[in-house]
Every structure is written in C-alpha cells, then in structure tokens.
C-alpha cells in the first residue's frame, strides 16, 4: 500500500520543477509584438550625458550605480508605460518652458524621477505635486500655500516655481549634477558636505544614498524614455495621454464662491472644474485674485459670476503710480510679477523681501 503513491509524487515533483523553470525563464524576457526581449539586449549605452555633462562610466562605481537604477527601471514595465503615456500630456509644456528659460531639456526627466508625472502626488515628508516642492521652497519662489489653496498642485505655476528654484541652484553650484543633488537633499545640506569633504564633484562626493540614487535614476529614465523602442516599449499614438485643453482666466472675487456655482454658470460640472483646479483645496474659491482654469471656450461665461481681469485692468486696480503696486488679497510674488512684468527676484530686491510673505495693502516698489 505504501509504494503505490510514488508515481503520483514523482509526477507532482516534475510538475513543480516545470513551473519553476517557466518562472525563471519568464524573468529573462517579456513578449512584445510576438518577439522576446532577452536581458542580453538590455544594456547601458557606452556613453551618456545628463544636462550636457558626461557621466563618468569609466568609473566602476559609477557604472554599477547607474546599472542598478537602469535595471530596476527598465524591467518595471507598467511604470515605464505610464511614464511614456503621461509624457505626452506634460512634456510639450515642460520642453517649451525649459527652452524659454534657457535650461537643459533633460531637466524634464527630473520631474519624472520626482513624481512619475503624477501632478497630485504627495510624499511622506510633505513634498507635493509634479515637482515635489516643499512648502517653504514653494512660498519662497512665489507660490501660494494655505489651508484653502496650494499652488504646488497647479502644474503650470508649480513648473514656474520649480524652474525659478533650479535657476537659483544653477547660480550656486558648478555642475548640473550638483544642482539636481541640491534639489533632492537641499542646498544647505549639500553645501555642508562639499565643505566637509573638500570636493565639489558630485561623483567624488559621499552623499546620502537617496541623493546619489536620485541622479542615477534621472539618468536611467532619460536612457529609457529617449529610445523606448530599443528596450521593447512600443506604444501607439492613441495610447498616449494628450495635453489637457482649457482656458486660464485671472479673476477677482470679494467673497468665497462655491465651485459648483461657477461650474453651473459656465455650463459645466463641479467635477470638471475641480479637476482642472486641483490647487483649490476646498469646495470654495476663496476671496481675492486668482488664476483659475475652465473648460475651453467657457471663460467669457464667467462675467456676472466673477470679475475677469486682464493684465491691463488688474494693473489699473492695483497700481497707485507707474512705480508702485499695492498688494491685494490673494496676491503672491509670482502673480504680481506676471501682472507687472517685474521678475520675482527684482521685486524681492527692490523691496527687501527675504522670504515670500506679503501683507494686503503693502506698497511695493517696481522701479529703483
């Protein structure tokens, strides 16, 4: 009786071995368009630059660190596919703004590393938005952040603030690798490490693991997204997310206005208006001056609900002379800069503003 089950046991063992071999084989490739992508084909390029700076791949340590991030990223198939889909929505605007600011196009990959191009993402440390800005940094570079509005969640305004911050870091550090490291760990921490270690080359510094990995992760993302087909990623045009189409209107209101009321007035829905304005944290648009997004073609229907403002009328309301501006409710430095044509840096210098806080009624000097 005891010997009869042996063939069954043997069959079970063979079956389990077969499943194990199939699993191991599946780790070596994934099928794409009836082809198999073997790991032997997934190699780092022989040379690579980031922000026009060569990565020193001749260093075994550098090569291994980059190879780690590249291997992790290139085999994370769902994540890479979502990067490529979201890039269709956000890269055109990022590329345009980077070109206008004279910044390297590769900085768009920093945004991918920070947030995977998810505009509403929040970190456990309090960083928010596509650029993962902390509240003090956001305020310092002109964004409004309070219990009702958080402009870090506004893709376009957050991009302006992030690029402003990056330009500040560019003026502080001698290489783009250090600029991006400072973006990750903070400029003051990086300055301390440079001073302690007496070296200002990123690849020679001993920095926190998260910061070191950050630069190599950006590089790995660039390698994959610049040539996704090489690594087996083939997306059809209709699979790519398209840029959102909406009108941006600067408005003024003397009291809170419910977003559902705005939506009804322009012939839209609360959900649509809320999703176009994720920076408005509550159901209400607070009193003051704001830039809001509405469905394309509906901005003119705001008349009677809110007071639309163009650059000319807003300047006429707030300017008391050609060289002075009076701060209104809801104003931020970036708002004032947009309306007056005076940069945030110049406004801060002329008015001895150290941070970003403004007082309603404060008189700002616009010219020396």
| Predicted local confidence at residue 348, as pLDDT | 86
Whether residue 199 sits in one domain with residue 86: yes
Kindly report which listed range (89-98, 247-256, 305-314) carries the lowest average pLDDT score: 305-314
| CATH number reported for the structural domain that contains residue 352 in this entry | 3.10.350.10
Whether residue 340 sits in one domain with residue 200: no
pLDDT digits (tens, 9 = 90+) for 33-73: 444 444 446 789 999 999 999 999 999 999 999 999 999 99
Whether residue 220 sits in one domain with residue 157: yes
Task: At 143, list the tokens.
Answer: 């964004």
Domain endpoint, select from 200, 231, 262: 231
| Predicted local confidence at residue 357, as pLDDT | 74
Long-range contact pairs involving 298-305 (C-beta distance under 8 Å, separation at least 24): 298/247, 298/266, 298/267, 298/268, 299/247, 299/249, 299/266, 301/265, 301/266, 301/267, 302/249, 302/251, 302/262, 302/265, 302/266, 304/265, 305/257, 305/261, 305/262, 305/265, 305/266
Whether residue 215 sits in one domain with residue 66: yes
Does 322 or 146 have the greater pLDDT score? 146
pLDDT digits (tens, 9 = 90+) for 229-271: 999 999 999 999 999 999 988 888 888 888 988 888 888 999 9
| CATH number reported for the structural domain that contains residue 81 in this entry | 1.10.530.10
Q: Which of 41, 50, 31, 42 is nearest to 70 (CA)?
A: 42
- Residue 15 located in a structural domain: no
Whether residue 194 sits in one domain with residue 76: yes
pTM score of the predicted model = 0.75
Whether residue 195 sits in one domain with residue 288: no
Task: Check the CA dihedral 293-299-302-307 and report its sign.
Answer: positive
- Residue 86 located in a structural domain: yes
| Predicted local confidence at residue 286, as pLDDT | 87
Give bridge partners of residue 303 from the DSSP assignment. 306
- Residue 40 located in a structural domain: no
Q: How far apart are CA 252 and CA 193, in angstroms?
A: 47
Whether residue 104 sits in one domain with residue 197: yes
What's the number of domains the chain is made of? 3
- Residue 28 located in a structural domain: no
Whether residue 91 sits in one domain with residue 78: yes
Whether residue 125 sits in one domain with residue 268: no
pLDDT digits (tens, 9 = 90+) for 109-159: 999 999 999 999 999 999 999 999 999 999 989 899 999 999 999 999 999
Task: At 230, list the tokens.
Answer: 């090489």
Whether residue 254 sits in one domain with residue 227: no
When pLDDT is cut at 50, 70 and 90, the band that residue 323 belongs to is confident
Q: How far apart are CA 179 and CA 147, in angstroms?
A: 31
Whether residue 253 sits in one domain with residue 169: no
Range(s) of the domain holding residue 295:
247-309
């Amino acid at each position: 009786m005891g010997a009869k089950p042996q063939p069954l046991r043997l069959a079970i063992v063979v079956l389990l071995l077969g499943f194990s071999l199939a699993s191991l084989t599946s780790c070596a490739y994934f099928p794409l368009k009836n082809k198999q992508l073997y790991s032997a084909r997934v190699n780092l390029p022989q040379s690579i630059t980031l922000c026009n700076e060569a990565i020193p791949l001749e260093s075994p340590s550098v090569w291994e660190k980059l190879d780690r991030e590249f291997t992790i990223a290139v085999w994370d198939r769902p994540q890479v596919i979502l990067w490529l889909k979201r890039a269709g929505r956000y890269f055109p605007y990022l590329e345009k703004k980077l070109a206008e600011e004279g910044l390297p196009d590769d900085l768009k990959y920093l945004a991918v590393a920070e947030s995977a191009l998810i505009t509403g993402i929040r970190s456990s440390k309090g960083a928010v938005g596509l650029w993962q800005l902390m509240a003090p940094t956001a305020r310092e570079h002109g964004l409004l952040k309070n219990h009702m509005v958080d402009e870090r969640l506004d893709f376009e305004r957050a991009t302006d603030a992030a690029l402003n911050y990056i330009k500040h870091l560019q003026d502080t550090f001698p290489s783009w690798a250090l600029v991006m490291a400072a973006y990750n760990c903070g400029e003051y921490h990086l300055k301390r490490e440079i001073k302690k270690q007496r070296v200002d080359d990123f690849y020679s510094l001993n920095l926190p693991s998260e910061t070191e990995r950050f630069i190599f992760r950006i590089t790995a993302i660039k390698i994959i997204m610049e040539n996704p087909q090489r690594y087996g990623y083939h997306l059809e045009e209709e699979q790519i997310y398209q840029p959102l189409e909406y009108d941006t209107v600067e408005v003024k209101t003397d009291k809170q206005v419910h977003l559902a009321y705005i939506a009804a007035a322009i012939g839209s829905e609360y959900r649509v208006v809320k999703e176009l304005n994720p920076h408005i944290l509550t159901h209400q648009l607070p009193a003051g001056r704001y830039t809001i997004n509405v469905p394309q073609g509906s901005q003119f229907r705001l008349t009677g609900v809110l007071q639309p403002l163009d650059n000319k009328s807003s300047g006429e309301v707030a300017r008391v002379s050609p060289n002075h501006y009076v701060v209104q409710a809801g104003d931020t430095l970036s708002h004032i800069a947009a309306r007056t044509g005076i940069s945030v840096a110049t406004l801060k210098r002329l008015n001895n503003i150290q941070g970003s806080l403004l007082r309603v009624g404060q008189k700002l000097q616009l010219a020396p």
